[in-house]
Amino acid sequence: MSNRRFESKPLAVPSSRLSRLSRLGGLASAIAGNVAADAARKFARGERPRLEDLLLTPANARKLADELARMRGAAMKVGQLISMDAGDMLPPELAEILSRLRAEAHHMPWVQLRRVLTAAWGADWRQQFADFDTHPIAAASIGQVHRARTHDGRDLAIKVQYPGVRASIDSDVDNVATLIRIAGLVPKSVDIAPMLAEAKRQLHEEADYECEGRRLAEFGALLADRPEFRAPALHPDLTQKNVLAMDYVESSPIDDLVSAPQAERDRVMTLLIGLLFRELFEFRLMQTDPNFANYRYAPETGQIVLLDFGATRAFPEDFVALYRRLLGAGMARDRDGLRDAARQIGFLAPDAPAGLERAMLDLFDLSIEPLRQDAPFDFGASDLALRLRDGGMALAAHRDAFVIPPMDTLFLQRKFGGIYLLATRLQARVALRELIALHL
């Protein structure tokens, strides 16, 4: 975290289930009003518009993004997931609007923050601190972060959960899913029930800051042999279910490295991609949220600071073995082996249409291409992202037959995609073959 002041406007979080439901109801009414008005205009011109064209408009996407950002909590988190998982199926302008949910958040006003901290630490909580900055240094979907210093000299980052988040998770997910269906943001043929159930499970875990604290400490231990990384130390005496206390580490956003020398950008991304493979194949434990804000850079030491372990996921040993087979077959250009592993993992149903199977295997083959080359892969100069997008559009042509793969694969693919985007942002050159060979 740097000294630059976090800029956002204070906005109270709707904390009761009724108030959250009423906001979503108001949003549904606003979208319906937009649809009716647009339909009337088109009919007046003699046009016969399709409902999905009336629903999928930038105005409706903007209303959805603005309201979910105001609500925060599970509602905003589901919007983030949809913007990442369904973004390729949406028109570019809608995907861009929804992507704002991954970067923007308001923060609680002081009166609401004080109420949360008093409930957690008691009425005299200020006496524990020599200094507590009431303006947050960061804000996200589940909580916001404040800097504080205790009387015994500990420099801390305190993550405070928004009120009502935990109690409203299930209803938020259900209500937002209904709204997203109404708005036509996900194809009707796609069964999102497994994704919603997993979203609830994951969000309940993310909202338990004591659980996140244990994961933070666990990663600190796993990376004790790698001084290039730093996970802030946990302070259990100040940590509760809705308040997480950890070391404050002076650092800057990881994507500030865009102006760093090429060698440093290459080093940082080599470390992060190497960590990704270790998380999957060695730890079988992965921080699956690819938000750039979860990676920071400490200029004085060159360390990569790792944050936000609420979305940590453990992978079963048999799943990791299948993924090793998938990548090994892809590296060897073994199409039959690739198909077999993809079916066993759940990417492909046994009765998948030939066109869908071919498009899926072509996409896998394309994504594994950088791992095969002996020379470092140049993320900045490659057109692979465009070709992957085209491959994704080929999949969308078969979306009526598409099934959502197991949740483990979705979380893993999201992490892969986030790391790829970061490497592209930094225009890094990484010897990927050497990194993956250690694990295959």
- The model's pLDDT over 241-294, given as tens digits with 9 standing for 90+, comes to 999 999 999 999 998 999 999 999 999 999 999 999 999 999 999 999 877 889
Q: What local confidence, expressed as pLDDT, does residue 39 receive?
A: 41
- Residues β-bridged to residue 247: 156
| Residues 313-357 pLDDT 10s | 999 999 999 999 999 999 999 999 999 999 999 888 888 888 888
Q: What local confidence, expressed as pLDDT, does residue 95 receive?
A: 52
Whether the pTM exceeds 0.85: the reply is no
Which residue in 93, 97, 51, 77 sits closest to 142, CA to CA?
A: 77
Q: How far apart are CA 282 and CA 62, in angstroms?
A: 42
Q: What local confidence, expressed as pLDDT, does residue 426 receive?
A: 94
Contact 13, 242 (CB under 8 A): no
Q: What local confidence, expressed as pLDDT, does residue 384 receive?
A: 83
Q: How far apart are CA 390 and CA 203, in angstroms?
A: 32
The phi, psi pair for 150, rounded to 5°, reads -85, 170
Which residue in 316, 345, 335 sits closest to 413, CA to CA?
A: 345
Amino acid at 353: P
Q: Which two tokens stand for residue 132?
A: 């507590």
The secondary structure of the chain, three-state, reads: CCCCCCCCCECCCCCCHHHHHHHHHHHHHHHHHHHHHHHHHHHHCCCCCCHHHHHCCHHHHHHHHHHHHHHCHHHHHHHHHHHHHCHHHCCHHHHHHHHHHHCCCCECCHHHHHHHHHHHHCCCHHHHEEEECCCCCEECCCEEEEEEEECCCCEEEEEEECCCCCCCHHHHHHHHHHHHHHHCCCCCCCCCHHHHHHHHHHHHHHCCHHHHHHHHHHHHHHCCCCCCEECCCECHHHCECCEEEEECCCCEEHHHHHHCCHHHHHHHHHHHHHHHHHHHHHHCEEECCCCHHHEEEECCCCEEEECCCCCEEECCHHHHHHHHHHHHHHHCCCHHHHHHHHHHHCCCCCCCCHHHHHHHHHHHHHHHHHHHCCCCEECCCCCHHHHHHHHHHHHHCCHHHCCCCCHHHHHHHHHHHHHHHHHHHCCCEECHHHHHHCCC
Residues in the chain, total: 440
Q: What local confidence, expressed as pLDDT, does residue 55 receive?
A: 45
- Residues β-bridged to residue 147: 157
- Between strands 303-306 and 229-230, the pairing is parallel
Active site residues: 289
Contact 268, 304 (CB under 8 A): yes
Map tokens 């040993």 to a residue: 317
What average pLDDT does the chain have? Answer: 79
Q: What local confidence, expressed as pLDDT, does residue 73 receive?
A: 46
Instruction: For the chain, give the percent of residues with pLDDT over 90.
Output: 45
pLDDT < 50: residue spans in the chain: 2-4, 6, 15, 17, 21, 25, 28-29, 32-55, 73-75, 83-91, 93-94, 96-97, 101-103
Domain 109-161+208-250 has CATH 3.30.200.20: yes
What are the distances in angstroms from CA 278 to CA 25, 213, 439? 44, 21, 8
Q: What local confidence, expressed as pLDDT, does residue 344 receive?
A: 92
The phi, psi pair for 337, rounded to 5°, reads -65, -40
Please report, for the chain, the start and end positions of each structural domain, with discontinuous segments joined by +. 17-104+168-188, 109-161+208-250, 253-440
Q: What local confidence, expressed as pLDDT, does residue 81 receive?
A: 55
